[in-house]
Structure 1
Amino acid sequence: MFTIDDIGKMDYNQLIGVVRETNRPPGGVRSIAQIAQNGFLTKDSHVLEIGTSTGITAVELAKLVGCRITAIDINEESLVEARRRAEEAGVSHLITFERKDATDTGYPSGQFDMVFCGNVTSLIPDRDKALTEYTRVLKPGGFIGAIPMYYIDVPSDQLIADVSAAIQVDITPLYRDFWIDFFVGGERHEYWLQDSRFDNIPTDEVDRFVDDILRRPHLAELPADARELLEKRYREYMQLFRVNLSQMGFTTLLLRKEPADVEPELFTATVL
């Protein structure tokens, strides 16, 4: 049972494990389906998911494809909820949830057909080391599925400070070109991508979402003061993210691991 002191010490990433929020990657289930389809996943594939949070991507991949997933996160509270969801969905036999560091997984080299990292790389302090680890554990010919988020509009300094405090990561405003240049290079070749922009969601729609989340029966077991603080902080976080995401977009990106000396494609084409 969480106390008011416990809730007061939690950042957003910990609170979502308490409220059991479905923490989807940018683009939600559509992005998951696109990566599964364009990355040629089958029931024989083995996927490593980085930063599984409450498990929605791992569960969706298991349901859509029937493949094996090893899903890692550093937050044990989120992993508890992820395991519960996998059990509830009837796919726990396909998913292994482990508490591990994305920069040093300990898995053998060339083990996975795909590494799915969503947007979590932006939250890792040593992102270069993380990307090296993704590449190391990936089989030759395998795919990295990334969905980096970035600013389309220039954010205010106050917004950046507020979001940094909420997620406990000192963020620097980054833009699309940064992430493409970051992921593509060496053995990682651009294979497929799609750009999107987040919708500007009305404040009352966010409030309705929060109200629905907070009506979940397990939260009624919290002490009254802890529940009151949880409601206040969770609502503030979600309204903050509404403002932040309205200025952002994301790219659904697949990178294929191939020899570094393969030259890039020259005569590309744009879908009309």
Structure 2
Amino acid sequence: MKTLNIDTIQTIKYFPMIGIVKETNRPPGGMTSIRKIAHNAFLNSKKDVLEVGTATGVTAIELAKLTACNITAIDIDDNNLSVARERAEKENVAHLISFENRDATDTKFENKTFDMVFCGNVTSYFDDKIKAIKEYDRVLKDNGLIAAIPMYYINKPSEKLVSEVSDAIDVNISPLYKKDWVDFFNLPGYELVSCEDYAFDNISDNGVKEYVDIIFKQPHLESLEFEVRSALYSRYSYFMHLFRTNLSHMGFSLMLLRKVSSPTEPELFTARALVLE
């Protein structure tokens, strides 16, 4: 925080900003998505989980609290990892989580180390998505699960919006749709266990402002000099309004894929929920 000044704040990108403001950075769908994945995957204290792109650690911490599983959570931002470790200590789950600075496309872990790889939406930010997914596969045990929550466009965005989002996250993105993610994760030796599709809610300007105000009530932000705090508030508010606009065009899927040695035939006699009157 000591290096923040008016000039540097204007150039901060979103991912470093997460650690500065200590945002509770959640996957698409938030805590509900984390809890559904934990439930659908039957996670428990005997499972070893790799979380890719942990940011400030919220997913790893929630999984640890829900299931007591053993988690290795990786990210490439040391400031984010520091915030994550502090949070895990406060939540009394630090003994279950190892926060490490590692490259998701070349983790250096041994083959078949983990029972689950939880990648959320982080794969979206890699230039070589196939390389990242192959790394998930390499470190995953037989019969293990990949938990992915990819975001994708439902409605085509403008070139201007895509350019602004690319600049904000410092990643050159191109519009992807659900079919693209199905293709990315269509790996040999995997079967789709479950897939639930969602669209993001439309958030009002006032809703965005209320959220940003809550973030900036944190003591480490309230104690900043007025001009620095105002500049940081303005920059973070810009990100939130931009992402609100972008997400109004988007949806996401909760995907669980199992690594199998022998695929099973498809089910013929499917069913739907019965509503009795």
Quick check: TM above 0.5? Answer: yes
Paired letter, 2:4: T
Q: Deviations over 1:201-246 (max 9, x none)?
A: 1110100110111121101333433322211110010001111111
CA distance in 2, matches of 1:265, 1:110: 27
Query: Counterpart in 2 of 1:247?
Result: 249
Distance 1:218 1:267, change over 3 A: same
Paired letter, 2:270: A
Q: Deviations over 1:131-184 (max 9, x none)?
A: 000000000000000000000011111110111111011111111111011112
Give how far 1:2 is off.
3.0
CA distance in 2, matches of 1:37, 1:220: 38
Query: Counterpart in 2 of 1:71?
Result: 73
Query: Counterpart in 2 of 1:93?
Result: 95
The counterpart of 1:113, out of the listed 108, 112, 115, is 115
Give how far 1:10 is off.
1.9
Q: Deviations over 1:93-149 (max 9, x none)?
A: 000000110000000000100000000000011111100000000000000000000
Distance 1:268 1:14, change over 3 A: farther
SS at match of 2:10: helix
The 5 Å alignment of 1:102-251 reads 102-251=104-253
Paired letter, 1:156: S
Give yes or no for the alignment of 1:80 onto 2:82. yes
Paired letter, 2:96: L
CA distance in 2, matches of 1:263, 1:122: 30
SS at match of 1:143: strand
Distance 1:110 1:157, change over 3 A: same
Distance 1:268 1:24, change over 3 A: farther
SS at match of 1:33: helix
Paired letter, 2:210: R
Q: Deviations over 1:187-206 (max 9, x none)?
A: 22211110111000111010
Verify the 8 A CA contact 1:7 1:15 in the aligned structure 2: no
CA distance in 1, matches of 2:40, 2:14: 32
CA distance in 2, matches of 1:69, 1:238: 29
The RMSD of aligned alpha carbons is 1.4
Give how far 1:7 is off.
2.6
Task: Please give the TM-score of this superposition, normalised by the length of structure 1.
Answer: 0.96
Give how far 1:8 is off.
3.2
Distance 1:3 1:172, change over 3 A: same
Give how far 1:92 is off.
0.3
Query: Counterpart in 1 of 2:45?
Result: 43
Paired letter, 1:155: P
Which piece of structure 1 moves more, 111-120 or 8-17?
Answer: 8-17
Verify the 8 A CA contact 1:144 1:256 in the aligned structure 2: yes
Give how far 1:268 is off.
6.8
CA distance in 2, matches of 1:6, 1:132: 37
Identity %: 50
Distance 1:271 1:252, change over 3 A: farther
SS at match of 1:9: coil
Query: What runs of 5+ residues in structure 1 fail to find an aligned partner?
Result: none
Verify the 8 A CA contact 1:7 1:230 in the aligned structure 2: yes
| Paired residues, number | 271
SS at match of 1:21: coil
Task: Please give the TM-score of this superposition, normalised by the length of structure 2.
Answer: 0.94
Query: Counterpart in 2 of 1:16?
Result: 18
Give how far 1:271 is off.
3.8
Distance 1:133 1:270, change over 3 A: farther
